[in-house]
Structure 1
Amino acid sequence: MNATPEDDSAASHRSAPYGDSGDGATRAAGTPSAASIRLDGVRKQYPDGTVAVNKLSLSVPAGELVVLIGPSGCGKSTVLRMINRLIEPSAGRILLDDEDVTETDPVQLRRRIGYVIQNVGLFPHQTVQANVGTVPRLLGWSRSRIRSRSDELLDLVGLDPSRFGRRYPHELSGGQRQRVGVARALAADPVVLLMDEPFSAVDPIARARLQEEFLRLQEEVRKTIVLVTHDLDEAVRLGDRIAILSQGGRLEQYDSPATLLGEPASSFVREFVGADRGIRRLAVTPITRDLLNPLPTTPLPGSLPRVALGSSLYDALATLLTTNADETWVTEGSEPVGLLSRHRILSIDYPADPVG
């Protein structure tokens, strides 16, 4: 099954204000800091005959965050590792922009691709600062430049370099180690960032905070990111698009979170996203003006809750339920622009599932 996004402009990106190309030379102004990815008929078959991925075709526009998700054993981590050639594909092509990665030196390729894994993989005998500077050091950067870049990235991921730079991994919490892992992956300004279950090893509270901070970070650096997860809520929250895979790396659907939840392409997808997909759909549906009742001509109680225009219907419903209110002010900046009722949220007309 082939999949090409309908609108490559959905994640138009800006060049990073910092960084290096793969050979250690400063990246020229205007050179993109993100690359598109195209998988063309990619297959992985192991010597025992097991087919992990079979003829997968998928396009990821530069600057987008695409999530691979599916049941255990569907080949999603295999796909990730074929992109940076930790696993060699048996057939097909993988292109970064127009460059076939199977014809590129794998060591040089991996220095251009950031990689973040579940258990981080920091070097325990090195300081945080030294860990972040791993790839720049391999690229031959000067010591002062590595130090400056490490400090810059630690600050970017929310770790004060003067406080954390000289610590060792065992002196950090799980969430802090994960932040260091992300900083290390970004150190040489890679064109692609691969993330394999990056937040699964931390507790739910830390995971939610890391996801929020990661979205903020992506707004800053706007990399092309392929992220593997088993958590559908995480996929919906983070992904510009989600690719659902079934056994053998078969692509069942590749769409935006809202489309995937609202219009499952098959019974497999419908079952995978679950009967509660209507609730999840609220999390990716923004509050828009057409959903609002007009401002009243008579005063309403000042105790009504408030939500911001553009926030999710899920957030609005949660606000109404926790305050036991039937309506909420919707504001733009500090000014009310209308009212949103609980009834309006629950009566939105979504496509019905087929019967039987």
Structure 2
Amino acid sequence: MSKVYGDGTVAVGGLTLDVPAGELVVLIGPSGCGKSTVLRMINRLIQPTQGRILIDGDDVTDVDPVELRRRIGYVIQNVGLFPHQSIRANVGTVPRLLGWKKDRVRRRADELLELVGLDPARFGKRYPHELSGGQRQRAGVARALAADPSVLLMDEPFSAVDPIVRGKLQEEFLRLQAAVGKTIVLVTHDIDEAVKLGDRIAVLSEGGKLEQYAPPGELLAEPASDMVRDFVGADRGVRRLAVTPLSTVMRKVGPGHDTAGLPSVPDTGTLYDALAAMLTADALHVAVRNRDRVVGTVSRSAIFEAPADAIAR
């Protein structure tokens, strides 16, 4: 698809992209590369100049745009909650528009507030101004999921909160995605956020040109162009550690192996977690735990020698 404005400005030029069902795809690139335009063309807030957009094989241009938007969840940077409505009413907006009965709308709203970590008994009757930025963002995600859309669009959803809250929201969102398994297209400027959240990352350059489309580890290990290499940064090797599982270099140990005094990380962690624990404790090894049981060790030298294709995704 492409979008060319009347003055000849090419916002998106001939973009072809396949988003697998159930995956989270991140669109990233410099300002003005058409990321948000792509998102808005998917739900027809912006009409493509040419091309097609298919969801499960159905062309969205054949669907009434209002009905289409009710079937696609949309989360924006500043949440966009209605200030005059309670949080419960905000979450139930689309189900009400779809004609759901009041009891069903309330049950669905409370179910989703619980899912995103907001106690409905405590937060349901509150208004947006009574919530923190992180809590409002969670409520925005709940509202986008209310009608159980097959596709969720997210335009820089966590950029308006401070770094600590942002990290917590990202962790919560990964937990939520593991539970609901939505097909998600997310826009961000933050390469660390893209690497942390994305199953695949699409790097766009000016004019909506697709420079590379790959899993995070592959993108960091093998940038496809100078533009991608510059964008992901010279420290991409460190970022790659954050998407490389411990199992790629872990040495298994038996019950009698002495790991006393070693810093430890969970076996669900990454090489980045292991290196951080070693540097903090000034240690050369780290113990890998499965709950309360040590299952292996990772050495600092093994991390530095990890093969480039040892990636989590």
TM-score by length of 2: 0.96
Deviation at 1:307, TM superposition (A): 1.9
Corresponding position of 2:42: 83
Moved more, 325-334 or 96-105: 325-334
Q: Does 1:225 pair with 2:184?
A: yes
The one-letter amino acid paired with 2:222 is E
Partner of 1:268: 227
Contact 2:33–2:206 (CA<8 Å) still a contact in 1? yes
The count of corresponding residues between Structure 1 and Structure 2 is 309
State the one-letter code of the partner of 2:188.
Answer: T
- Deviation for aligned residue 1:296: 7.8
- Measure how far apart 1:116 and its partner are: 0.3
Identity %: 69
Q: Answer yes or no: is 1:211 the counterpart of 2:170.
A: yes
Question: Could you say which residue in structure 2 is the equivalent of 1:283?
Answer: 242
Look up the equivalent residue of 1:61 and give its one-letter code.
P
Instruction: Specify the alignment match of 2:273 in structure 1.
Output: 315
Which residue in 1 is equivalent to 2:76?
117
SS of aligned partner of 1:49: coil
Could you list the per-position Cα deviations for residues 205-248 of structure 1 after superposition, in whole angstroms to 9, with x for gaps in the alignment?
Answer: 10000000000000111100000000000000000000000000
Q: 2:160 maps to which residue?
A: 201
Given the alignment of the two structures, is residue 148 of structure 1 paired with residue 99 of structure 2, yes or no?
A: no
Secondary structure of 1:193's partner? Answer: strand
Aligned-partner Cα distance in 2 for 1:77–1:214: 20
Any idea what the Cα deviations from partners look like across 1:68-119, whole Å, max 9, x if unmatched?
0000000000000000000000000000011101121100000000000001
Structure 2 contact 23–199 (Cα < 8 Å) conserved: yes
- 1:108 counterpart = 2:59: no
Counterpart secondary structure, 1:111: helix
Question: How far off is 1:298 after superposition?
Answer: 7.8
Pairwise CA distance, 1:185: 0.4
Name the structure 1 match of 2:285: 327
Instruction: Output the amino acid matched with 1:241.
Output: R
In structure 2, which of residues 228, 253, 260 is the aligned counterpart of residue 295 of structure 1? Answer: 253
Question: Secondary structure in 2 aligned to 1:120?
Answer: coil
Q: Which residue of 1 aligns with 2:301?
A: 343
Distance 1:303 1:52, change over 3 A: same
Deviations 1:121-174 (A, max 9, x none): 111001111100100010001111111111100000000101110111111110
* Alignment of structure 1 residues 141-180 onto 2, 5 Å: 141-180=100-139
What is the DSSP-based 3-state SS (H/G/I as helix, E as strand, rest coil) of the residue aligned with 2:138?
helix
What secondary structure sits across from 1:55 in the alignment? coil
Deviation at 1:317, TM superposition (A): 0.4
Which residue is 1:12 aligned to? none
Counterpart of 1:38 in structure 2 is: none
2:196 matched residue in structure 1: 237
In the alignment, the residues of structure 1 paired with residue 125 and residue 257 of structure 2 have an alpha-carbon distance, to the nearest angstrom, of: 58
Paired with 1:299 and 1:156, the residues of 2 have a C-alpha distance of 41
Alpha-carbon spacing, 1:329–1:182, altered in 2? closer, same or farther (3 Å)? same
Q: Which residue of 2 is the match for residue 9 of structure 1?
A: none
Unaligned residue ranges in structure 2 (runs of 5+): none
**Deviation sequence 1:297-317 (CA, Å, 0-9, x none):** 986461111223342000000
How far off its partner does 1:344 sit? 1.2
Counterpart AA for 1:216: R
The match for 2:87 is 128
Over aligned residues, Cα RMSD in angstroms?
Answer: 1.5
Q: What is the SS of the residue equivalent to 1:244?
A: strand
Mark the runs of 5 or more structure 1 residues left unpaired by the alignment.
Answer: 1-41, 352-356
Residue 95 of structure 1 is aligned with which of 25, 35, 54?
54
Q: Secondary structure at the match of 2:177?
A: helix
Aligned CA distance change for structure 1 residues 106 and 298 (closer, same or farther; 3 Å): closer
Instruction: Kindly state the Cα deviation for residue 294 of structure 1 after the two structures are TM-superposed.
Output: 5.0
Aligned partners of 1:298, 1:96: CA distance in 2, in Å?
55
Q: Cα 1:126–1:253, aligned 2, differ >3 Å: closer, same or farther?
A: same
| Correspondences of 1:33-112 after superposition (within 5 Å) | 42-112=1-71
Following the alignment from structure 1 to structure 2, what is the Cα–Cα distance between the partners of residues 249 and 181? Answer: 27
Q: Residue 299 and residue 130 in structure 1: after superposition, are their counterparts in 2 closer, same or farther (change >3 A)?
A: closer
| 3-state SS, counterpart of residue 93 of structure 1 | coil
List structure 1 segments (4+ residues) > 6 angstroms apart after TM superposition: none
